[in-house]
Chains A and B, each alone.
Chain A
Amino acid sequence: MSNTQYWNRETSTIKQYSTPVTQQANIICISDPNDKANQKLYEGNLEGAKILAIGSQMSDFDIDLLRASNANVIFASHPNSREPLKMLLQEIPSIQWIHCRSAGIDSIASEELASSSVLMTNAKGAFSSTLAEYTMMAIAYFAKDLPRLLKQKDDRNWEKYCIEEIRGKTLGVVGYGDIGRAAAKLAKAYGMTVKALRRNPQHSQDDPICDEVYSNDKTSLHRIMSESDYILCAAPLTPESKGMFDEEAFASAKKNCVFINVGRGPIVEESALIGALKNGHLKGAALDVVAIEPLPKDSELWDLPNVLISPHNMDMTETFTQEATEFFIEENLPRFVRNELLLNPVDKVAGY
């Protein structure tokens, strides 16, 4: 897949369309009709496209009407899209393309989806830079011992202590996609060494941002854990990545390693993580994602002092979902109606 097939909010240029429309887009939105971020989509001033239905449950959709109207595009933004999507795929053979408003497609993945022939695209590249900013903040949180600063302030205690440099430390990025690369880029600006682990290491040959790249196997995972001062999990949740950070992985961690997760909670075996945080294998963790969201009140993660928790909001700017919808409207929809190659194709089998 060439670079032009993927969108990056910071570097991609907006395309101008002068060629004529060659096919109509008849769109079903599996979305909340009150979702403000989608207003521009719902208003419907779309070139060569019209919205047929907006709903989030199977009962919201009149299948016969949708079939008769030749529905061919599904825009999925509702968190509970999995079931309606399955049903629509089965009942409406004219569906050609599904666009997922978010980057992660794990919430809508299914066997039916994986085995269907529809094109699928997502919001890859739309949220990466804020997550890179969060990553550096998480690193600094532990390097400068922010918890200690805040405690000392509480106690009105002016006590000097040594802080750690970020420069010269190693960041291990597991899942070296758009988010991983954005974080690596910042890490390099800080003077960190960057190592990455990805399914296709050959794609990172000659990558100026990455000093070493490993393949996705257990040995390599343990190796990157043992070499990194900070580990960033920026992988998607797939059958392959589920539970990859287990007890063995954490036991391989370098002393005083800090674990940061901006991928998906279930990639981590949470009890193993908690164990590693308690027994000192890990110095700390910064988690924007957890296995069950919202995090249940009885989870030990709330009580561990060396854990920074955020409610899966570290990419949530005021405009980010709006921008994600705009990406659909301004980038992929114009391409679809002109029968051009869509950006951000998803490998439905791989799951990302």
Chain B
Amino acid sequence: MINRLLICIYFLVLSSLTASLSFESLSLHFTRRAFSTVSSSTLIGLTTSTTSTSTLSSSNGEEQYWNRETSSRKQYQDSKPISQMANIICLSDPHDDANQRLYHGNLPKGAQVIAVGSEIDHFDIGKLKEANANVIFVSHPKSREPLAKLIQQVPSIQWIHSRSAGIDFITSNELSNCGAMVTNAKGCFSSTLAEYTMMAISFFAKDLPRLLKQKHSKTWEKYCVEEIRGKTLGIIGYGDIGRAAGTLAKAYGMKVIALRRNPQNSQGDPICDEVYSNDKTSLCRLVSKSDYILCAAPLTPETRGLIDEKVFSSAKKNSVFINVGRGPIVEEDALIEALKNGPLKGAALDVVATEPLPKDSELWTLENVLLSPHNMDMTETFMHEATEFFIEENLPRFLRNDPLLNLVDKVAGY
């Protein structure tokens, strides 16, 4: 009886603590000089309630997310005993080279792969339930439907890990409503995308198209180049990728301004000179001040079609738009219009609304567009590394009931 009372009191205290944390983050004053640009009316983005994981991250956020360049590998050998098994279903291509270690290699003790397939028919649900399948590793591009079905039919699922950073390819009502934890590959691909961002900026600043044309015609004609130093990079979606790009941009001597759902999380950020909240006015303001605009946001119901005609018409004259987030965040017709008639000088797109880009898209023909087939993070080993992250970082944590890295907010969608 006393125990139950104590437990009730414990939970009461815990929940009130959590609530007060949420309120605290809502009323934070922005004391950095740059925050004067963020008025109280632009705190709209903060009313969307963040899950307990996000509020926890404000106190020890560094440990909760993985960054390939800066996180240290944890040593697990026998230091802490495992407390549960991991019976893994792989929603994957059995011939996927990058997953071979998962399928055939040494997994941490207590973990085993019990099935590999890409369609619901590939799985014997009865056997999965019998084997107490509790983990799903998702890497197949067409995983949305099979995942939703597995969630419904195998109630023992506790954890779903996405091999990629974007989870827009597997979101569904079933996923949002289920009790399973979802983790992803946040922080695994950021630095190559930062490298691509600076290349895209240089492509336009040094007029690489002109250089190549002049080479073709054997013309030696001097022309003025633009400096990158001193220009402004505006980042829409200031997550791991956005920050990696911001870090490089700062090394070049650029000014960095950013827009994110939780601007208070960027307080004291040495990389970011100004941070804006996620509302239309702030977005238009950010682009009006940027020489280069980088979209590094995830695709969520909130960001779909976010960058539209209104945003492009607010852009600074001769600005360059770079997209490494997701194609549907941009209204592609509005983008094409802005590229043809201004104010955009050009665009560099690693992602587009429909991939592969249909052959009749005008984007192929516009001279001021740099296109890449969503491969600017695709190194020879990146997928292997993403699978390794699952095997070496999160699997050992799951087996020991330790907090997993890279928890995803299923409702927010990233």
Binding site for B on A (CB under 8 A): 10, 129-130, 133-134, 136-137, 140-141, 143-144, 146, 149-150, 152-153, 156, 158-167, 185-186, 189-191, 293-295, 297, 302, 307-318
Residues in B with CB closer than 8 Å to A163 are 192, 196, 375-376, 378-379
Is the C-beta of B223 less than 8 angstroms from some C-beta in chain A? yes
The 17 sampled A-B contact pairs (Cβ below 8 Å) are A10-B253, A130-B229, A133-B229, A134-B225, A140-B195, A140-B199, A162-B375, A162-B379, A162-B380, A163-B376, A165-B379, A191-B69, A293-B220, A302-B218, A309-B215, A316-B224, A317-B226
* Inter-subunit contact A136/B198 (CB<8 Å): yes
Which of the candidate stretches B24-32, B154-162, B353-361 sits at the interface with the other chain?
Answer: B353-361
The residues in B between 219 and 274 inclusive whose CB is less than 8 angstroms from any CB of A are: 220-229, 247-248, 251-253
Q: Is the CB of A129 within 8 A of B202?
A: no
Q: How large is the interface on B (under 10, 10 to 19, 20 to 34, 35 or more residues)?
A: 35 or more
Cβ 8 A contact of B220, one of A134, A160, A307, A311: A311
- Name the interface residues of B14-32: CB closer than 8 Å to any CB of A: none
Q: Give bound CA distance, A312 to B224, whole Å.
A: 10
> Cβ of B125 < 8 Å from any Cβ of A?
no
The reply to whether A133 and B227 contact each other, CB–CB distance below 8 Å, is yes
Cα A191 to Cα B372 with chains together (Å) = 24
What is the CA–CA distance of A312 and B378 in the complex, to the nearest angstrom?
A: 33
Contacts of A158 in B (CB 8 A): 355-357, 373
Q: Among the listed B222, B253, B374, which residue makes an inter-chain contact with A311, where contact means beta carbons less than 8 Å apart?
A: B222
Q: Is the CB of B364 within 8 A of A153?
A: yes
Residue of A nearest to B379 (CB): A165
Distance between B352 CB and nearest chain A CB, rounded to angstroms: 9
Residues of B within 8 A of A10 (CB): 229, 253
Q: State the CA gap A166–B388 with chains docked (Å).
A: 21
Taking A160-B378, A316-B223, A317-B224 as given, write out 13 further A-B residue pairs in contact, using a Cβ cutoff of 8 Å, ordered by the A residue number. A133-B227, A137-B199, A137-B206, A143-B195, A144-B196, A152-B371, A156-B359, A160-B375, A167-B195, A191-B191, A302-B218, A309-B215, A311-B220
Contact flag A314-B225 (CB < 8 Å), given A133-B205, A153-B364: yes
Which residues of chain B come closer than 8 Å to A133, judged between CB atoms? 202, 205-206, 227-229, 252
Q: Smallest Cβ distance from A122 to chain B, in angstroms?
A: 21
Question: Is B178 in the interface zone, CB < 8 Å from A?
Answer: no
Asked whether any CB of chain A lies closer than 8 Å to the CB of B214, the reply is yes
Chain A hits for B356, CB < 8 A = 158
Answer yes or no: B131 CB below 8 A from chain A CBs: no
Name the residue of chain B whose CB is nearest to the CB of A167.
Answer: B191
Point out the residues of chain A lying under 8 angstroms from B380, CB to CB.
162
User: What is the distance, in angstroms, from B200's C-beta to the closest C-beta of chain A?
Assistant: 9
Chain A nearest CB, measured from B329 CB (Å): 19
Chain B residues 339 to 391 lying within 8 A of chain A, measured CB to CB, are 355-357, 359, 364, 369-376, 378-380
Which residues of chain B have C-beta atoms less than 8 A from A164's C-beta? 379
Q: A149-B371, A162-B378, A185-B251 are in contact. Are A137 and B227 (CB under 8 A)?
A: no
* Chain A residues in 8 Å Cβ range of B69: 167, 191
Tell me the smallest distance from the CB of A114 to a CB of chain B, in Å: 30
Shortest distance between the CB of B335 and any CB in chain A (Å) = 16
Residues of A within 8 A of B227 (CB): 129-130, 133, 317
Q: Identify which of B211, B378, B379 gathers the most chain A CB atoms within 10 Å of its CB.
A: B211
- Chain A residues whose C-beta falls within 8 Å of the C-beta of B355 in the assembled complex: 158
On chain A, the residues within 8 Å of B248 by CB distance are 189-190
Please tell me if the beta carbons of A316 and B252 are within 8 angstroms of each other in the complex.
no
Question: Considering the chains assembled together, what is the distance between the CA atoms of A42 and B289 in angstroms?
Answer: 37
CB of A212 to closest CB in B, whole Å: 21
Q: Do A311 and B364 have beta carbons less than 8 Å apart?
A: no
Tell me whether B208 is interfacial, beta carbon within 8 Å.
yes
Most buried by B among A167, A185, A308: A167
What's the least CB distance linking B268 to chain A, in Å? 21
Residues of B within 8 A of A149 (CB): 370-372
Smallest distance from the beta carbon of A140 to chain B beta carbons, Å?
4
Is B220 a contact partner of A295 (Cβ separation < 8 A)?
A: yes
Q: A158-B356, A162-B378 are in contact. Are A312 and B222 (CB under 8 A)?
A: yes
Interface centre among B199, B203, B227, by most chain A C-beta atoms within 10 angstroms, is: B199
Contact with A along B49-93 (1 / 0, CB 8 A): 000000000000000000001000000000000000000000000
CB-defined contacts of B379 to chain A, threshold 8 Å: 162-165
Task: Name the CB-closest residue of B to A129.
Answer: B229
CB pair B376–A297 under 8 Å, yes or no, is no
> Nearest chain-B residue to A318 (Cβ)?
B224
Q: Are B225 and A166 in contact (CB under 8 A)?
A: no
User: Is the C-beta of B7 less than 8 angstroms from some C-beta in chain A?
Assistant: no
Whether, in the assembled complex, B34 has its beta carbon less than 8 Å from a beta carbon of chain A, the answer is: no
B212 at the interface (CB under 8 A from A): yes
Asked, given contacts A144-B196, A311-B222, whether A150 binds B206 with beta carbons under 8 Å apart, the answer is no
Chain A residue numbers with a CB within 8 Å of B226 are 317
Given A140-B199, A185-B251, A311-B222, also A146-B208 (CB < 8 A)? yes
Task: Determine if A317 and B225 form an interchain contact, defined as CB atoms under 8 angstroms apart.
Answer: yes
Shortest C-beta distance, A296 to chain B (Å), equals 9
B373 pairs with A152, CB closer than 8 A: yes
Tell me the complex Cα distance, A129–B208, Å: 18
Contacts of A297 in B (CB 8 A): 218
Chain A residues whose C-beta falls within 8 Å of the C-beta of B195 in the assembled complex: 140, 143-144, 165-167, 190
